[in-house]
Amino acid sequence: MTEVVVDVRELRKTFQVTEREEGLAATLRSFVRRHRKDVNAVAGITFRIDAGEVVGFLGPNGAGKTTTLKMLSGLLHPSAGEASVLGYVPWRRENAYLQRMTLLMGNRTQLVWDIPAADSLRVLQEIYRIPEAEFQGTVKELTELLELEELVHKPVRNLSLGERMKVEFAAGLIHSPRVAFLDEPTIGLDVSMQVRIRRFVAEYNRRTGATILLTSHYMDDVVALCKRVIVIHRGRLLYDGPLADLAERMAPYKVITATLHDGAAASTDLDAYGTVVSREEGRVTLRVDRQVAPERTARLVNDLRERLADISVEDPPIEEVIDRVFTSEQTTVSA
């Protein structure tokens, strides 16, 4: 039986923001009398995450991802709704809960700039009351997984962004948390460092069985790490299910790419088969309704015969699917 680690029910967070128009007069008016407006950062979301899952939390800027993570880590009180993580109510901020969770933010550091990370790790050992043997074991494991050897002994200010992020991971995971909330952990990193961080997260999850909820703007992170994704937009849940099914549910079309032999791609009329998205050299890309895709493909092969060098039928790229979800107003789809 799997244990439910994160249980969120109808969680809401409403912020009050002061609104004012541009210009001095408007500024003065608003100084006297402020117009307040309610903004629903999170407008009632419900989901559950089982122990050991790695779930991708997707949404455009301002969708409510970070607000949700902050509520789940206990930094924010919700306006309404319930949440339980490892059986604790996060915003009560009980030490027993804080001892078992971590929040890592890609754009913020908890390390002290002027001193080496090794010293910060010692401080964390004392704060979390980690026995020496266990501490040594964890440091050894994290050092090996993240290739930290040299890094922990240099002052943090001398590290590159990528190196700092690796050390940040070590600091955030030193107490072996059962739940990790990762907010944009690869933001600003170069591609090879992104790959290494991803590999680390996957391996860490495999070794420790920790439950991970991750937000990222890089779809590669999500594709590499998460079997399941939760998509939110304007504070509402749009999709919760397998990453593999996201395209099927959210993008009702397939992409057919046909390569023609004689360079006749520019002249051949293919509009009858589907919507032509692009034509370049000998290659034509068509968008075709999901239901009719097999039949159109067969016709295309049949009609073009030997002029056809290659043909492929695929789901649209995940970025495109996500973009489609965010630009169109769709109702909730749950898997």
Partner 1 sequence: MIRYARLLRLFFRTELQYELEYRLNLILEILQTVVVTATSVGAVLVLFSYTTVLNGWDLGAMLVLLGCFYLVQGFGELVLQPSFEKFMEHVRLGTLDFALLKPASAQFLVTLRHFQVVALAQMALGAIVVAVGLGRIPSVGAFEAIGFPIALVCGFALIYALLLALSTFAFWFVRVDNLMALYWSFMDAGRFPVDVYPGWLRVTLSSAVPIGVAVTVPAQMIAGRLDAIGLGFLVVGSATAFYLASRFWRLGLRSYTGASA
Point out which residues bind partner 1 (CB under 8 A): 15, 41, 66-67, 70, 73-77, 91, 93, 95-96, 98-99, 101-103, 105, 108-110, 112, 114-115, 119-120, 122-123, 126-129, 155
Rounded to a whole number of angstroms, the minimum distance from the CB of residue 202 to partner 1 is 24
DSSP string computed for 155-195: BGGGS-HHHHHHHHHHHHHTT--SEEEEESTTTT--HHHHH
Cβ closest to partner 1, residue 44 vs residue 241: 44
Rounded to a whole number of angstroms, the minimum distance from the CB of residue 73 to partner 1 is 6
Rounded Cα gap, residues 263 and 307, in angstroms: 9
Rounded Cα gap, residues 307 and 309, in angstroms: 6
Rounded Cα gap, residues 105 and 66, in angstroms: 10
Rounded to a whole number of angstroms, the minimum distance from the CB of residue 101 to partner 1 is 8
Say if CB 116 and CB 153 are below 8 A apart: yes
Rounded to a whole number of angstroms, the minimum distance from the CB of residue 123 to partner 1 is 6
Rounded Cα gap, residues 177 and 260, in angstroms: 55
Rounded to a whole number of angstroms, the minimum distance from the CB of residue 209 to partner 1 is 21
Rounded to a whole number of angstroms, the minimum distance from the CB of residue 148 to partner 1 is 18
Q: CA 76, 82, 87, 89 torsion: positive or negative?
A: positive
DSSP state of 251: -
Rounded Cα gap, residues 281 and 253, in angstroms: 24
Cβ closest to partner 1, residue 89 vs residue 127: 127
Cβ closest to partner 1, residue 157 vs residue 261: 157
Cβ closest to partner 1, residue 63 vs residue 226: 63
Rounded Cα gap, residues 152 and 169, in angstroms: 12
Cβ closest to partner 1, residue 124 vs residue 286: 124
Cβ closest to partner 1, residue 91 vs residue 218: 91
Cβ closest to partner 1, residue 139 vs residue 293: 139
Rounded to a whole number of angstroms, the minimum distance from the CB of residue 189 to partner 1 is 19
Q: Please choose, from the candidates 56, 51, 98, the residue with its C-alpha nearest in 3D space to the C-alpha of residue 201.
A: 56
Rounded Cα gap, residues 292 and 304, in angstroms: 18
- Furthest-apart CA atoms within the chain: distance in Å: 77
